Chains A and B, each alone.
Chain A
Protein backbone atom coordinates (compact mmCIF):
# COMPACT_ATOMS: atom_id res chain seq x y z
CA UNK A 1 0.00 0.00 0.00
CA UNK A 2 1.26 3.44 -0.92
CA UNK A 3 0.93 6.09 1.70
CA UNK A 4 2.23 9.59 1.89
CA UNK A 5 2.70 10.15 5.59
CA UNK A 6 3.13 13.91 5.47
CA UNK A 7 0.19 14.50 3.14
CA UNK A 8 -2.51 16.83 4.40
CA UNK A 9 -5.97 17.09 2.96
CA UNK A 10 -6.73 20.64 1.82
CA UNK A 11 -10.38 21.08 0.76
CA UNK A 12 -9.52 24.00 -1.53
CA UNK A 13 -7.13 21.76 -3.49
CA UNK A 14 -9.87 19.18 -3.98
CA UNK A 15 -12.27 21.90 -5.13
CA UNK A 16 -9.69 23.24 -7.55
CA UNK A 17 -9.37 19.76 -9.04
CA UNK A 18 -13.15 19.22 -9.23
CA UNK A 19 -14.05 22.51 -10.90
CA UNK A 20 -11.05 22.56 -13.24
CA UNK A 21 -12.32 20.44 -16.12
CA UNK A 22 -13.95 17.27 -17.30
CA UNK A 23 -17.09 15.55 -16.12
CA UNK A 24 -16.89 16.84 -12.54
CA UNK A 25 -16.85 20.42 -13.80
CA UNK A 26 -19.83 19.78 -16.09
CA UNK A 27 -21.84 18.48 -13.14
CA UNK A 28 -20.73 21.23 -10.73
CA UNK A 29 -19.55 18.88 -7.99
CA UNK A 30 -17.50 20.26 -5.13
CA UNK A 31 -16.21 19.64 -1.64
CA UNK A 32 -18.85 19.94 1.09
CA UNK A 33 -17.43 18.70 4.41
CA UNK A 34 -15.20 16.07 5.93
CA UNK A 35 -14.13 14.49 9.20
CA UNK A 36 -11.53 11.90 10.08
CA UNK A 37 -13.65 9.03 8.70
CA UNK A 38 -15.74 10.54 5.93
CA UNK A 39 -15.92 13.06 3.16
CA UNK A 40 -18.91 14.81 1.64
CA UNK A 41 -19.15 16.06 -1.93
CA UNK A 42 -22.06 18.22 -3.06
CA UNK A 43 -23.84 18.53 -6.39
CA UNK A 44 -26.05 21.64 -6.51
CA UNK A 45 -29.37 21.19 -8.29
CA UNK A 46 -29.32 22.37 -11.87
CA UNK A 47 -31.90 21.99 -14.62
CA UNK A 48 -29.32 20.28 -16.82
CA UNK A 49 -28.95 17.47 -14.27
CA UNK A 50 -32.64 16.60 -14.23
CA UNK A 51 -34.02 13.32 -15.54
CA UNK A 52 -37.70 14.19 -15.55
CA UNK A 53 -38.64 17.88 -15.88
CA UNK A 54 -42.05 17.17 -14.27
CA UNK A 55 -40.56 16.04 -10.95
CA UNK A 56 -37.23 17.87 -11.02
CA UNK A 57 -35.49 14.76 -9.68
CA UNK A 58 -31.81 14.53 -10.56
CA UNK A 59 -30.73 11.99 -13.17
CA UNK A 60 -29.36 8.73 -11.86
CA UNK A 61 -26.44 9.10 -14.25
CA UNK A 62 -25.43 12.38 -12.62
CA UNK A 63 -25.98 10.89 -9.17
CA UNK A 64 -23.77 7.89 -9.97
CA UNK A 65 -20.96 10.28 -10.90
CA UNK A 66 -21.31 11.96 -7.51
CA UNK A 67 -21.35 8.56 -5.74
CA UNK A 68 -18.29 7.35 -7.68
CA UNK A 69 -16.34 10.51 -6.88
CA UNK A 70 -17.29 10.58 -3.23
CA UNK A 71 -16.59 6.87 -2.68
CA UNK A 72 -13.27 7.22 -4.50
CA UNK A 73 -12.08 10.34 -2.70
CA UNK A 74 -12.91 8.72 0.66
CA UNK A 75 -10.28 6.13 -0.25
CA UNK A 76 -7.72 8.74 -1.30
CA UNK A 77 -8.15 10.44 2.05
CA UNK A 78 -7.50 7.19 3.87
CA UNK A 79 -4.54 6.35 1.61
CA UNK A 80 -3.15 9.78 2.28
CA UNK A 81 -2.89 11.35 -1.15
CA UNK A 82 -4.37 11.66 -4.62
CA UNK A 83 -2.95 8.32 -5.66
CA UNK A 84 -4.07 6.55 -8.84
CA UNK A 85 -6.99 4.15 -8.62
CA UNK A 86 -9.83 2.91 -10.80
CA UNK A 87 -13.37 1.88 -9.93
CA UNK A 88 -13.90 -1.89 -10.10
CA UNK A 89 -17.52 -2.05 -9.03
CA UNK A 90 -20.11 0.54 -8.12
CA UNK A 91 -23.50 -0.33 -6.73
CA UNK A 92 -26.08 2.43 -6.38
CA UNK A 93 -29.47 2.07 -4.72
CA UNK A 94 -32.00 4.71 -5.70
CA UNK A 95 -34.11 4.81 -2.57
CA UNK A 96 -36.33 7.70 -3.65
CA UNK A 97 -36.32 10.55 -6.18
CA UNK A 98 -34.27 13.58 -5.17
CA UNK A 99 -35.98 16.90 -4.41
CA UNK A 100 -36.30 19.60 -7.04
CA UNK A 101 -33.99 22.52 -6.32
CA UNK A 102 -32.06 20.82 -3.50
CA UNK A 103 -28.31 20.24 -3.45
CA UNK A 104 -27.48 16.55 -3.21
CA UNK A 105 -24.70 15.65 -0.78
CA UNK A 106 -22.91 12.29 -0.77
CA UNK A 107 -21.09 11.25 2.40
CA UNK A 108 -18.69 8.35 1.93
CA UNK A 109 -16.29 6.44 4.14
CA UNK A 110 -13.51 4.06 3.23
CA UNK A 111 -14.13 0.85 5.14
CA UNK A 112 -11.07 -1.14 4.23
CA UNK A 113 -7.82 -1.08 2.30
CA UNK A 114 -6.06 -4.33 1.43
CA UNK A 115 -3.14 -4.88 -0.97
CA UNK A 116 -4.36 -3.79 -4.38
CA UNK A 117 -7.94 -2.94 -3.45
CA UNK A 118 -10.03 -0.62 -1.32
CA UNK A 119 -13.69 -0.55 -0.35
CA UNK A 120 -16.06 2.23 0.54
CA UNK A 121 -19.71 3.00 1.08
CA UNK A 122 -21.84 6.08 1.34
CA UNK A 123 -25.22 7.73 1.34
CA UNK A 124 -26.60 10.67 -0.60
CA UNK A 125 -29.12 13.08 0.90
CA UNK A 126 -30.42 16.63 0.53
CA UNK A 127 -31.01 17.74 4.14
CA UNK A 128 -30.66 14.90 6.60
CA UNK A 129 -28.34 11.86 6.42
CA UNK A 130 -31.05 9.83 8.16
CA UNK A 131 -33.28 10.35 5.11
CA UNK A 132 -31.05 9.13 2.26
CA UNK A 133 -32.08 9.37 -1.39
CA UNK A 134 -29.34 6.97 -2.54
CA UNK A 135 -26.92 4.43 -1.14
CA UNK A 136 -23.58 3.44 -2.63
CA UNK A 137 -21.09 0.61 -2.18
CA UNK A 138 -17.95 0.65 -4.30
CA UNK A 139 -14.62 -1.12 -4.70
CA UNK A 140 -11.49 0.27 -6.31
CA UNK A 141 -8.28 -1.19 -7.69
CA UNK A 142 -5.24 0.69 -6.38
CA UNK A 143 -2.62 1.39 -9.04
Chain B
Protein backbone atom coordinates (compact mmCIF):
# COMPACT_ATOMS: atom_id res chain seq x y z
CA UNK B 1 0.00 0.00 0.00
CA UNK B 2 1.08 3.55 -0.55
CA UNK B 3 -0.29 6.98 0.12
CA UNK B 4 -1.86 7.51 -3.30
CA UNK B 5 -4.18 4.53 -2.84
CA UNK B 6 -6.43 6.03 -0.17
CA UNK B 7 -8.24 9.34 -0.09
CA UNK B 8 -8.97 11.15 3.14
CA UNK B 9 -12.49 12.59 3.53
CA UNK B 10 -13.08 16.18 2.37
CA UNK B 11 -13.23 17.40 5.99
CA UNK B 12 -9.59 16.35 6.43
CA UNK B 13 -8.70 19.31 4.19
CA UNK B 14 -10.82 21.69 6.25
CA UNK B 15 -8.97 21.01 9.49
CA UNK B 16 -5.60 20.09 7.94
CA UNK B 17 -5.31 16.33 8.45
CA UNK B 18 -2.85 14.63 6.10
CA UNK B 19 -1.00 11.35 5.77
CA UNK B 20 2.36 11.66 7.49
CA UNK B 21 3.85 8.28 6.67
CA UNK B 22 3.14 4.56 6.49
CA UNK B 23 3.97 1.98 9.13
CA UNK B 24 3.98 -1.10 6.91
CA UNK B 25 0.38 -1.16 5.60
CA UNK B 26 -0.96 1.29 8.20
CA UNK B 27 -1.21 5.00 7.49
CA UNK B 28 -0.05 7.44 10.16
CA UNK B 29 -2.09 10.64 10.01
CA UNK B 30 -0.98 14.00 11.32
CA UNK B 31 -2.56 17.30 12.21
CA UNK B 32 -0.59 20.48 12.93
CA UNK B 33 -1.84 22.69 15.74
CA UNK B 34 -3.51 25.94 14.75
CA UNK B 35 -5.68 28.49 16.47
CA UNK B 36 -8.64 27.16 14.48
CA UNK B 37 -8.36 23.82 16.28
CA UNK B 38 -8.16 25.29 19.78
CA UNK B 39 -10.58 24.21 22.51
CA UNK B 40 -9.41 24.99 26.04
CA UNK B 41 -6.58 27.56 25.77
CA UNK B 42 -3.36 26.01 24.48
CA UNK B 43 -4.94 22.67 23.58
CA UNK B 44 -6.60 20.95 20.65
CA UNK B 45 -10.40 20.85 20.96
CA UNK B 46 -11.65 17.40 21.95
CA UNK B 47 -13.66 17.38 18.74
CA UNK B 48 -10.53 17.83 16.61
CA UNK B 49 -8.89 14.99 18.54
CA UNK B 50 -11.94 12.81 17.88
CA UNK B 51 -11.88 13.74 14.19
CA UNK B 52 -8.23 12.74 13.77
CA UNK B 53 -8.83 9.41 15.56
CA UNK B 54 -11.88 8.65 13.43
CA UNK B 55 -10.02 9.48 10.21
CA UNK B 56 -7.10 7.26 11.24
CA UNK B 57 -9.47 4.33 11.81
CA UNK B 58 -11.27 4.90 8.53
CA UNK B 59 -8.03 5.29 6.54
CA UNK B 60 -6.65 2.11 8.09
CA UNK B 61 -9.59 -0.13 7.19
CA UNK B 62 -9.77 1.54 3.76
CA UNK B 63 -6.10 0.75 3.07
CA UNK B 64 -6.53 -2.80 4.33
CA UNK B 65 -9.54 -3.51 2.13
CA UNK B 66 -7.94 -1.95 -0.96
CA UNK B 67 -4.88 -4.13 -0.46
CA UNK B 68 -7.03 -7.22 0.08
CA UNK B 69 -10.58 -7.90 -0.93
CA UNK B 70 -11.10 -4.53 -2.63
CA UNK B 71 -12.51 -1.06 -1.88
CA UNK B 72 -15.88 -0.82 -0.13
CA UNK B 73 -18.31 1.79 1.12
CA UNK B 74 -17.29 2.55 4.70
CA UNK B 75 -19.58 4.15 7.28
CA UNK B 76 -18.50 4.50 10.89
CA UNK B 77 -21.35 3.33 13.12
CA UNK B 78 -19.92 4.73 16.33
CA UNK B 79 -16.80 6.05 17.96
CA UNK B 80 -15.89 5.99 21.64
CA UNK B 81 -13.06 8.34 22.53
CA UNK B 82 -11.03 8.30 25.77
CA UNK B 83 -9.16 11.51 26.56
CA UNK B 84 -6.02 10.78 28.59
CA UNK B 85 -3.83 13.85 28.42
CA UNK B 86 -4.25 17.20 26.74
CA UNK B 87 -3.12 17.48 23.13
CA UNK B 88 -0.98 20.63 23.21
CA UNK B 89 0.21 23.21 20.68
CA UNK B 90 2.34 20.94 18.52
CA UNK B 91 1.68 18.33 15.83
CA UNK B 92 -0.52 15.37 16.69
CA UNK B 93 -0.25 11.93 15.11
CA UNK B 94 -2.76 9.08 14.92
CA UNK B 95 -2.81 5.53 13.68
CA UNK B 96 -5.18 2.62 14.08
CA UNK B 97 -5.13 -1.12 14.49
CA UNK B 98 -7.73 -3.45 13.06
CA UNK B 99 -9.00 -5.56 15.94
CA UNK B 100 -11.33 -7.51 13.68
CA UNK B 101 -12.38 -7.08 10.06
CA UNK B 102 -15.53 -9.03 9.31
CA UNK B 103 -17.59 -9.08 6.15
CA UNK B 104 -19.96 -6.30 7.20
CA UNK B 105 -18.28 -4.73 10.23
CA UNK B 106 -14.74 -3.80 11.20
CA UNK B 107 -13.65 -2.93 14.75
CA UNK B 108 -10.64 -0.66 15.09
CA UNK B 109 -8.58 0.84 17.89
CA UNK B 110 -7.07 4.23 17.15
CA UNK B 111 -4.40 6.08 19.14
CA UNK B 112 -3.44 9.75 19.05
CA UNK B 113 -0.10 10.91 20.41
CA UNK B 114 2.33 13.83 20.31
CA UNK B 115 5.68 13.17 21.98
CA UNK B 116 5.76 9.43 21.61
CA UNK B 117 3.31 6.73 20.68
CA UNK B 118 3.50 5.11 24.12
CA UNK B 119 2.16 8.31 25.70
CA UNK B 120 -1.28 8.53 24.08
CA UNK B 121 -3.29 11.74 24.39
CA UNK B 122 -6.43 9.87 23.39
CA UNK B 123 -7.62 6.53 22.09
CA UNK B 124 -10.79 5.49 20.34
CA UNK B 125 -12.75 2.41 19.45
CA UNK B 126 -14.31 2.93 16.04
CA UNK B 127 -16.77 0.45 14.53
CA UNK B 128 -17.10 0.74 10.77
CA UNK B 129 -19.87 -0.72 8.61
CA UNK B 130 -18.62 -2.22 5.34
CA UNK B 131 -20.91 -2.33 2.29
CA UNK B 132 -20.33 -2.93 -1.42
CA UNK B 133 -19.56 0.19 -3.45
CA UNK B 134 -22.63 1.50 -5.22
CA UNK B 135 -22.49 0.98 -8.98
CA UNK B 136 -21.11 4.12 -10.58
Contacts and interface: CB of A to CB of B under 8 A. Distances in A.
Contacts of B55: 61
B91 interface: no
Given A89-B83, A91-B80, A61 B37 contact: no
Contact of A86 (B38, B47, B76, B83): B83
Given A51-B10, A62-B51, A22 B78 contact: no
Contacts of A88: 82-83
B83 A87 contact: yes
A93 B83 contact: no
Interface string A49-64: 1111100000111101
A64 B11 contact: no
B64 interface: no
B81 A89 contact: yes
Contacts of A103: none
A68 B35 contact: no
Interface string B41-58: 000111110111011000
B81 A21 contact: no
Contacts of B5: none
B47 A65 contact: yes
B131 interface: no
A89 B76 contact: no
A26 interface: yes
Interface of B: 9-11, 14-15, 35-40, 44-48, 50-52, 54-55, 75-83, 86
